[in-house]
Amino acid sequence: MSRDPSIVPDRHPVLEVRDVSLGFGGVRALTGVSFSVAKGELFSIIGPNGAGKTSMLNCISGRYRPSSGQILLDGSDVTGLSPNRRATLGLGRTFQNLALFGHMSVQDNIMVGRHHLLKNNALTGALYWLGARREELAHRRVVEEIIDFLEIAPIRKAQAGTLSYGLRKRVELARAMAVSPKVILLDEPMAGMNLEEKEDMARFIVDLNEEWGMTVVMIEHDMGVVMDISHRVMVLEFGCKIALGLPEEVMANDRVKVAYLGIDEDEQVA
């Protein structure tokens, strides 16, 4: 059952992808993909392996430079900007393969998310009591809220590299939240998790969207979860957008059935 939003997708697009193409040598990873995500929306991207979903997120976060097309964040063109500039403008993300700072504590990992919001520098940091202390503590408070929300208080001092897979995924979400982004990009946040961990993660993402009011763009394979929690879904296949709409519309789309769900029309008829 999909949530019925009163969100009008194209009125206040906080993220706009215009006709983006991307190639690697001979391989075309993306071909003329366009979509926009409204403020407060939970937008999912699905598609078979190698469809170009991660490449799409990489174009948005600045890891890849599209060969043509534009990316707009909150109305301003970010296509030429470096990833760190985009973070400053309000983009947070998690990775499909874990990408935590393995030797840092969980708490410090999340504090790195506050990097662009903190003003202290090497000098004021070194002069801690005369400089950075007050600011660091204020941001620790924000981090602590995120820690409480994601229920990771008991592991806040643990070294990130020593945690279980499921917990590391959760810490990555925490770190991306700490950026206080306008849009948060989640690349397969539930991949490789057991059922219980998946349920927790789905609940966190819904709360993140509803209670924290965060705009979410998520790649996910678990169709049950996607159809359940997304406002809208986009389907990619071989780098092309083959469908975009409400979850039930997408589910009913013939091309999607063939391409993604592996249901052959002829078989269905027969």
Partner 1 sequence: MIGSSLVPCGQFKTSYSEDTTLFLTPASRRFCIAAIVLAAAAPLVLGPYPLTLMIQIGFFAIAALGLNILVGSTGQISLGHAAFFGFGAFASAWLNSTVGVPVLLAIPLAGLMTTLLGLLFGIPAGRLKGLYLAIATFASQYILEDFFARATWFTGGSSGAMAAPASLFGWELSGDRQYFYVVLVFLVVMFVLGANLLRTRDGRAFVAVRDHYLSAEVMGVNLTRYRILSFGISSFYAGIGGALYGHYLGYVSAEGFTILQSIQFLGMIIIGGLGSVTGTLMGTCFMVLLPEVTEGAVSLIKQVVGDVPGLTGALAYIKEAAIGLAIVLFLIFEPDGLVHRWRTIKSYWKLYPFSY
User: Where does this chain bind ligand ADP (CB under 6 A)?
Assistant: 24, 27, 29, 47, 49-55
Choice between 5 and 50, CB closer to ligand ADP: 50
Q: 189-194 — which CB contacts under 8 Å span 24+ positions?
A: 189/94, 189/218, 189/220, 190/220, 190/221, 190/222, 190/225, 191/96, 191/220, 191/221, 192/165, 193/165, 193/166, 193/169, 194/166
HSE-CB of 216 using CA atoms within 13 angstroms = 31
With binding defined as CB under 8 A, does residue 192 bind partner 1?
no
Choice between 29 and 152, CB closer to ligand ADP: 29
Per the structure block, which two tokens stand in for 203?
């609940």
Per the structure block, which two tokens stand in for 215?
């705009």
With binding defined as CB under 8 A, does residue 182 bind partner 1?
no
Choice between 52 and 247, CB closer to ligand ADP: 52
Q: Which stretch binds partner 1 (CB under 8 A): 40-48, 77-85, 210-218, 259-267?
A: 77-85
With binding defined as CB under 8 A, does residue 142 bind partner 1?
no
Choice between 98 and 142, CB closer to ligand ADP: 98
Per the structure block, which two tokens stand in for 55?
């490449």
With binding defined as CB under 8 A, does residue 99 bind partner 1?
yes
**With contact defined as beta carbons under 8 Å apart, do 106 and 156 qualify?**
yes
Least Å distance between CB 93 and Mg ion? 12
Least Å distance between CB 265 and partner 1? 41
Neighbours of 207 (CB within 10 A): 13
Neighbours of 213 (CB within 10 A): 9
User: Binds 52, which of ligand ADP, partner 1, Mg ion, none (CB < 5 to 8 A, cut-off by type)?
Assistant: ligand ADP
Choice between 65 and 157, CB closer to partner 1: 157
Binding mask 62-101 for Mg ion (x = CB under 5 A): ----------------------------------x-----
CA distance 144 to 101: 18
Binding residues among 28-67 for Mg ion as defined by CB under 5 A: 54
DSSP-assigned states of every residue in 198-212: HHHHHHHHHHHHHTS
Say how many residues touch Mg ion, by CB under 5 A.
2
Choice between 55 and 107, CB closer to ligand ADP: 55
Least Å distance between CB 54 and ligand ADP? 3
The contact set with Mg ion (CB under 5 A) reads 54, 96
The contact set with partner 1 (CB under 8 A) reads 61-63, 82-84, 87-88, 92-93, 95, 99-105, 108, 111-116, 118, 120-122, 124-128, 132-133, 136-137, 140-141, 144, 157-159, 162, 175, 179
